[in-house]
Structure 1
Amino acid sequence: MKMKVPKSRLKMLSQKKMFWIHKVSCSGTEPHLANCNVQISPKTPKHPCSNGMHAIAKCVAPPTSANGNGNNFKKAFRTMEPLVRLRSGPHAGEGRVEVLRNGKWGTICDDKWNLVSASVVCRELGYGSAKEAILGAQLGQGMGPIHMNEVVCTGREKSITECKFKEARIAGCQHEEDVGEKSSHKRIISFWLKRELLCKTGFVLLLFQIRLVGGRSSEEGKVEVQMVIKGVKKWGAMCGELWGMNEAMVACRQLGLGFANHAIQETWYWRGTQGAEDIVMSGVRCSGTELSIQQCRHHSVVHCPRGGGHRSAGVSCTDHAPDLILNAQLAQESAYLEDRPLHMLECAHEEECLSKSADDMSWPYGHRRLLRFSSEIHNIGRSDFTPRNGRHTWVWHECHR
């Protein structure tokens, strides 16, 4: 054990005679140690902790999935896929709570939501205790079914699916309802009531492995990461090749700056840190769900043919971002096949909306079989969705003039 190592931190701590708390008693359901019954040590105790020594805790990661508790929760995907997830949160451990039931992800209606239930979700996801239980759709509105209502947890559950709850449809949870009180105010939202939370992540070490430099503000700049090169930790830049929005999203999340606004492949206008100009990471490919850029796939040996310097990767981060969701059910229900004459598809052909095989047809004679459907797209994020290029750069086709 580390206690037996003379220079270990625990050994040095055990030799100190300072105790802030003399006695502590918890039931096990408290979300924080501060909620337990404690006895503060006197300023000048005669016999500090006479019958014991410093309290030591060893934490282990929770299982990656929960079995549920017969509450009709069934996994729809891989065996190890969890039954709960957080969505639309700008930081790790923050977001709208969604649960998987009968193969479909759904939300939870906002009644009786408290810190105890929030802590169950946080611990299930491996984040520790909850920092805040957020009411309302502050972190974006969801789509799909509402699975649970009036969730009540004791604090001992390993999964939110083991807590007591009511069926949302039976309890009368509507898409438009008054949100419960928060800070002595009531609000009305235009979609569903959501349960959201903010967990204590404990990922502070990840933050010290990445930084932004040279930007006009703390939310933008050239990305510099700390990597182990030949056994030595070294700061350096990232190759701008293949750098995209998925990679930028992971970088912004790791920095605690929310979402990616822009993924920048050339940063010639930003100066890097002196001594950290070399490229230490290349070929980075992220799925977008990683907690740190170091967890993404990347070259084992740095290979950046275009070089570094002004071609290093950069990001611009924001706390608010759009989140577009397609109404898949409407698209499926409205789909049909239609044979359309070619002379009615000239604009679509000129705008390259038809497949390449249309180029070989005898225009304007003949027809094409099209798959037609209605589309409905919701922006459930916290900012407007705007085109990448400004309106002044748009080129209007003659068909639309």
Structure 2
Amino acid sequence: VELVNGTKPNEGRVEIIRNGIRGTVCDDDWNNEDASVICNRLGFPGAISSPGKAFYGVSNEDNDILMDNVQCKGTETTLQSCVHDTSHDCAASEAASVVCKPNQGIFGSMILQLYYRLRGNSLASNAGRIEVFRDGRWGLVCDDEWDIQDASVACKQLGFKHAAKRDTSDVDYGSGSGNILLSDVECFGNETSLNECEKSPWRQHSCQSFEAVGVDCRVEKETIVELVNGTKPNEGRVEIIRNGIRGTVCDDDWNNEDASVICNRLGFPRGGKAVNKAHFGEGSGIIWLDNVACSGVEDSIDDCRPYWGIHDCDHNEDAGVICLEGSLPGIHVQNCQLFWIAQRLF
């Protein structure tokens, strides 16, 4: 799924590529539930609107209309999962579009109206194929001349605090579906944007899509976890301090495996119980995480494939934990340790 012809990456005409064929979606029955499925699939936290009537223009290409009468509930993970017809009675002027809620966490920084994102890696949000948004479409960066200095600049531009972990010019994150937009990038490493680096003119290259380059950005585990508003140090609302900003966790998909990772991190190795619906009161500020998917054996919530800042929640859904007692609080969270010491001293 791609959004085409918008002025920003969170908006545009919906185009889908199925069995190698690119096409559009007819706007019959098109609504915000359908748009939300598209937006969530693309990494945005929901839809703002669902324009029809080829709001973002009629395709200049000889595209087929691949779907009609789409009827999503809004909870599906793909548009294909929704009720729809593969035949249609539509014209190109009825192409469906979406405007998604913007999310800076996915796209990092905007420099001179250029957006960058990572794709092609479902296991980590800090690594993947680098794509650039220009002239209404997402495109690729060729690996010609690509090295660790270029990757480090890309990581900084994507919002990661640290440089790239390694040179990924030989790592395959997939070819994507866009055209090559950048090639022969040569950075010194101290630039703040790929735009400042030497490179070939836009769209001038001698590359194939399989030469699309990726990055693997270094993520230091600076996440601090605390339990707040409990009556004992082994329970409370989960609050995360990341890059100096305190926030909460949404309870969507929150379960005992997620709670156990929190508890183990805090020095309660027997695991814990997940509690939902702001059981320990509502927090405030940013909601850092949603749909946490830990297996229960991770050392930190950082290892549970988090996508920071992406959610569709309110604070009445703040997650909490009740850790199983039977061991001393560990060294990871100062609040628990000081509480225990104070009990023993006084």
Superposed pair shares fold, TM > 0.5: no
TM-score, with normalisation over the residues of structure 2?
0.40
**Normalising by structure 1, what TM-score?**
0.35
> Which structure has the larger Rg?
1
